Amino acid sequence: MDFGMPTLIENKNLEETVALCRELGLQFIELNMNFPQYQVPYLEETDYLNELARKNDIYFTIHLDENLNVCDFNRLVADAYVETVERMLRAAQQIHAPLLNMHINHGIYITLPDRKVRLFGEYREEYMTAWERFRDMCGRAAKGTGTKICIENTDGYFGFEKEAIDYLLQSPLFALTWDIGHSHTCDNVDEAFMMERKERLYHFHIHDGLGDKNHQTLGTGEIDLHQRLGIAKECGCRCVVETKTIEALRQSVRWLKENGYF
Mean pLDDT of 174-182: 97
Mean pLDDT of 148-157: 97
Give the rounded distance of the alpha carbon of 144 from its chain centre.
22
Q: Provide, rounded to the nearest whole percent, the portion of the chain with pLDDT above 70.
A: 100
Alpha carbon distance 239, 204 (integer Å)? 5
pLDDT of residue 227: 97
Strand partners of residue 4: 28, 240
Q: With a cut of 90, say whether residue 213 has pLDDT above it.
A: no
Alpha carbon distance 73, 95 (integer Å)? 33
Mean pLDDT of 26-41: 97
Alpha carbon distance 92, 195 (integer Å)? 28
Q: With a cut of 90, say whether residue 212 has pLDDT above it.
A: no
DSSP string, 183-214: HHHTTTTTHHHHHHTGGGEEEEEE-EEETTEE
Question: Could you read off the pLDDT of 68-101 as tens digits, one per residue?
Answer: 999 999 999 999 999 999 999 999 999 999 999 9
pLDDT of residue 189: 95
Question: Could you tell me the pLDDT band of residue 262, with boundaries at 50, 70 and 90?
Answer: confident
Alpha carbon distance 211, 52 (integer Å)? 39
Question: Could you read off the pLDDT of 113-149 as tens digits, one per residue?
Answer: 999 999 999 999 999 999 999 999 999 999 888 999 9
How confident is the prediction for the chain on average, in pLDDT?
A: 97
Question: Could you read off the pLDDT of 243-258 as tens digits, one per residue?
Answer: 999 999 999 999 999 9
